[in-house]
Amino acid sequence: MHAIVALLAALLAACAAAPKAPVRPSRPWSEDIVYFVLVDRFADGDPTNDANVDRKAKGAFHGGDLKGLIANLDEIASLGVTAIWVNPLVKNIEGHVDGAGFPDWAYHGYWADDFTRLDPRFGTEEDLRRLVEACHARGIKVLLDVVYNHAGYDSRYLRDPKTRHWLRSNIVGDCGDDDLTSCLAGLPDFKTELPEVAKFLLDAQLGWAKRSGIDGFRLDTVKHVDHPFWQEHRKRTRAELGPDFFLLGEVWGGDADVLDPWFEPDELDAGFDFSFQGSVLGFVQGRGRTVAFNRYLEKRHKVRRGHLLAHFLSSHDVTGALYQLKGDLELFRLAVALQFTTAGIPVIYYGEEVARLGGEWPENRSDMPWGSRNLQPGAALPRDDDLRRDYQKLIGIRRAHPALSRGDHVGLSTEGDLYVFARRDARSGDAVVVAVNRGREAASASFAAPEEWRSAKIVDLIDGSASGLAAGAGTMTITVAPRRFRIIAAATR
């Protein structure tokens, strides 16, 4: 009997000591903050797979891979972000194209040659699984970018007689003139309306999701694929990957209105808000009236119930925000503050948080700056860690205050250069007031204090002080220095 008891005790101890599998993060996507990585431009963790690498050439592979991303994952996790989006990882075409005026390679992952294999220049299937496990262990979700609309230039699917009829192409001359049948940028266009083509693509991409354990897809070129395909896609992802598998779609030029034809039939969970960058940069640079900008932010809340907008300041397809601001970090900080205090899913483009300037394409896809770290491909590139600390502070504030993720939006002072608005969440009783001064003079505004604050001490969440804040008879007065912002709320005990 004693031996049996001892054996059971040993087994229980062994089970308790065994490492637990990472738990898939379960927070609502409305509370997430996404970090987008172009894997090739981030970190080189395996020099043995550096095929066609030329770090001096703007259109070539630079050597970043999944092993490098895994090894430097804490660089991202320590920001406080809760999800990572990585570019497509399937096998891409081997050669380059010259239409851009320079040799342009498939370092970005969007020119597929084989949907059934990962590109060895990015890594292996095991590397992808390890990335997902490492992210989940840190409470971070993973979005994999997938492309259904097109293959790469001169892809094997176009060369193979068995699959050539799957595609429209300039070679055959059957490209159309509308969104569904055009050959975007001259890329071979999949006839996703053909059942055999749709099945092949869905089987391949859902297979990667099943085997890797990712949490969702970022869907490329959504408007170039028809609605019946997206409806079948939604049906299959829910049936095979679970009801919470997330679908974030890119509809070029999207906003709440433009995205609604995909939201109304529930083909997507969220879509990119292309209007945000231009509206925010215009505001911080003094273009347009503050009251009009307030109406714009309030309108963003009119997205169809149960669906979300994802808003960015920079991306791989548009000129970066800091570059558009001519490197003005004061104005850029104002834009970042607005990004993290308004509705939707904030999306950070890699290196933006350390002042990677980027530029117009293809400079907007430059290497991740690592400063003094000897980490390729961006070793010795300058970085601004003070800006990074500001990102950490803002992300921490957003995550600590439900009102900033799901609260309503009310303008409190909308004239002149000082813009003050409130975010309030009835469910949690949380209220936050944001004040952004785009002007070159200090400015003050008075407003009715949110009733959630009652008699609580009100502080600036950035520095914990109450300087420049005055309360009396249910009103608040706030003073903001030129080209600065403040975020105020009730102090926590």
Residue range 22-45: mean pLDDT, rounded: 92
295 phi/psi in degrees, rounded to 5: -60, -40
Give percent above pLDDT 90 in the chain.
91
Q: How far is CA 68 from CA 109, 120, 134, 356, 427, in A?
A: 16, 13, 13, 19, 41
Q: Which residue spans within 299-457 are E strands per DSSP?
A: 308-312, 345-349, 408-413, 418-425, 430-437, 443-448
Domain with CATH 2.60.40.1180 in the chain: 408-490
Gap between the Cα atoms of 18 and 81, Å rounded: 28
Q: Which residue spans within 202-313 are E strands per DSSP?
A: 216-219, 246-249, 270-273, 308-312
Q: Write down the pLDDT at residue 493.
A: 61
Residue range 80-94: mean pLDDT, rounded: 98
- Helices (H) then strands (E): counts for the chain: 14, 20
Q: Write down the pLDDT at residue 4.
A: 44
- Go through the chain and tell me how many residues it has: 493
CATH superfamily of 2-149+192-400: Glycosidases (3.20.20.80)
Q: Write down the pLDDT at residue 71.
A: 98
Two tokens, residue 444: 């003050």
pLDDT surpasses 50 at 11: no
Report helix angle 125-137 to 195-212, nearest 10: 50
Residue range 63-69: mean pLDDT, rounded: 98
- Tens of pLDDT, residues 395-451: 999 999 999 999 999 999 999 999 999 999 999 999 999 999 999 999 999 999 999
Q: Which CATH architecture has domain 408-490?
A: Sandwich (2.60)
On average, the pLDDT of the chain sits at 94
pLDDT surpasses 50 at 485: yes
- Tens of pLDDT, residues 306-322: 999 999 999 999 999 99
pLDDT surpasses 90 at 123: yes
pLDDT band at 472 (very low <50, low <70, confident <90, very high): confident
pLDDT surpasses 50 at 368: yes
Domain with CATH 3.20.20.80 in the chain: 2-149+192-400
pTM, full prediction = 0.94
223 phi/psi in degrees, rounded to 5: -75, -5
pLDDT surpasses 50 at 186: yes
Two tokens, residue 175: 């490209």
Q: Write down the pLDDT at residue 22.
A: 59
| Half-sphere exposure at residue 132, Cβ-oriented, CA atoms within 13 angstroms | 20
- Tens of pLDDT, residues 218-255: 999 999 999 999 999 999 999 999 999 999 999 999 99
Rg of the chain over CA atoms, in angstroms? 24
Beta bridge partners of 433: 422, 488
pLDDT surpasses 50 at 385: yes
Gap between the Cα atoms of 113 and 88, Å rounded: 12
pLDDT band at 2 (very low <50, low <70, confident <90, very high): very low
pLDDT surpasses 80 at 492: no
Q: Are strands 34-37 and 345-349 parallel, antiparallel or unpaired?
A: parallel
Q: Write down the pLDDT at residue 474.
A: 84
